[in-house]
Chains A and B, each alone.
Chain A
Amino acid sequence: QSALTQPASVSGAPGQSITISCTGTTSDVGRYNLVSWYQHHPGKAPKIIIFEDNKRPSGVSNRFSGSKSGNTASLTISGLQAEDEADYYCYSYAGSSTFYVFGSGTKVTVL
C-alpha cells in the first residue's frame, strides 16, 4: 500500500480557514469511513484530532473538522491560530490484511 498523498505545505493568515487534502484509493479512503488525522508539533507527542472521517475526540477544538469525497479526505482548520502551526498527517484503514501507512504529511504555516 502506498502512502496517502498530502500537499507538502499549506499556509494561511490568522483567522483564515485552510484545508489539507489526503488522497488515497478505492481500497482505503474511498472504501472505509475510517480516516483519522494527527497533529504533530515537533518535539512533542502527536495528537489525534479527527477519527472515523469527521469525529472529534473530546477536548479537540471545533475549529478542526474532517470531511470526505470519493477517494479524498480533507481536514479543515477554521479561524487559524498561531498554535495551529504544526505538521498534520492522515491515516486510512485499508483492510485487515494491510498494514499501517500514514499520509506523507503537511506542514501548516501561520503567516
Chain B
Amino acid sequence: QVQLAESGGGVVQPGKSLRLSCEASGFIFRSYAMHWVRQAPGKGLEWVALISYDGSNTYYEDSVKGRFTISRDNSKKTLYLQMNSLRPADTAVYYCVRTSGREVPFDFWGQGTLVTVSS
C-alpha cells in the first residue's frame, strides 16, 4: 500500500534552516509528481510546493518562493523540502502528498512533520 513518511521537523530559530524528507513506498515514486502542503496551528490547509515526476519542474506558493526548495531523489524514493530563512509564520505541520494529476490532485498524504519556528 502507498506510504509516505515525513521526517526532519523540529524547533528552529527564526532565520535558520531546516530540511524535511519524505520517504515513499508502495508505488512507483518516479512516475508521480509530488506536493508539500502545510497546516499552521488552528488554520486550514495551504499548498506549499510542487515538483514534477522527474524533478525538472518546480512551483512554489508566493510566500515561500526564494526561501524554500523542493527536490527529489528518485533512486532513493525520497522527496525533500529545504527551508531557509524560516519565519514564525512558517510554523506548521508539513505534509508530503502524492498527486495523480488534475483529476485526483492530492491522492495520498503522509502523517506530517511539525516545524516550529520560535526564538
Residues of A within 8 A of B (CB): 3, 34, 36, 38, 40, 44-48, 51-52, 57, 89, 91, 93, 99-105
Contacts and interface: CB of A to CB of B under 8 A. Distances in A.
Contact of B44 (A3, A93, A99): A3
Contacts of A40: 45
Contact of A101 (B47, B59, B103): B47
Nearest to A103: B44
Given A46-B45, A51-B103, A100 B50 contact: yes
Interface residues of B, number: 21
Interface of B: 4, 35, 44-47, 50, 59, 61, 95, 102-112
Given A45-B110, A57-B107, A91-B106, A102 B61 contact: no
A102 B104 contact: no
Contacts of A102: 44-47
